[in-house]
Amino acid sequence: MKVSQAIAEVLKREGVEYLFGYPLNPLIEAAAEANIRPIIVRQERTGVHMADAFSRMTSGKRVGVFCMQNGPGVENSFGAVAQAYSEAVPLVVVPGAPARSLSWVRPAFNAALNYQHVTKWAEQVTTPSMAVDAMRRAFTQARNGRPGPALVEIPADIWNEEVPEPCVYVPTVRA
């Protein structure tokens, strides 16, 4: 199972029915194959606000999820994620990132570093084996305590790598 498919499986087990996204993120295709309806937007900030509204309409029982391309896509969504953080809205944001070999080459934008102050949790997946656990941490952080957004950044070269073990995932619950 590829990382994109494993993450789509995690979303399915978490009860995600809609994936809000901006094109050029491999998770969109994998989610569609897992019967999660992708809702494509033309601007990243609008997509985060749509995921935010979805979470609010369900009183946080169903977490809104948004994915986008790396670079400008991540930068464009910053304001909407910051608003969700200030208003305690549970979200999971899954941006793309440059390949690991380019992640520290300028002008690469590192979402995990830049979003630390406007999310409850921000993490970059650096190996395929981290993907499922990173998503578990993201959903746990988004739901528990004071709700808020969590970010899991996936580098471009990881999406199509194989997850070493089967996807054993138990959905998180609000404590």
Q: What is the pLDDT of residues 53-92, one digit of tens each?
A: 999 999 888 999 999 998 888 999 999 999 999 999 999 9
Inter-residue contact 47 to 24 (CB < 8 Å) = no
Is the residue at 160 inside a domain?
Answer: no
Per the structure, how many domains does the chain have?
Answer: 1
Is the residue at 32 inside a domain?
Answer: yes
Is the residue at 174 inside a domain?
Answer: no
Average confidence (pLDDT) over 14-35: 95
Inter-residue contact 3 to 160 (CB < 8 Å) = yes
Residue 175's pLDDT is 61
Backbone region of residue 92 per phi and psi (left: phi > 0; alpha: psi in -120 to 50; beta: other values):
beta
What are the residues facing 21 on neighbouring strands? 40, 67
pLDDT tens for residues 81-120?
999 999 999 999 999 988 887 767 777 778 888 999 999 9
Is the residue at 123 inside a domain?
Answer: yes
Is the residue at 162 inside a domain?
Answer: no
Residue 161's pLDDT is 94
CB atoms within 10 A of CB 137: 16
Please indicate, yes or no, whether the overall pTM of this predicted structure exceeds 0.85: yes
Residue 174's pLDDT is 66
Domain containing residue 140: 3-155
Whole-number average pLDDT of the chain:
92
DSSP single-letter state for residue 36: P
Is the residue at 13 inside a domain?
Answer: yes
Is the residue at 27 inside a domain?
Answer: yes
Give the CATH number of the domain where residue 113 resides.
Answer: 3.40.50.970
Give the N- to C-terminal CA distance of the chain in Å, as an integer. Answer: 31
Residue 167's pLDDT is 67
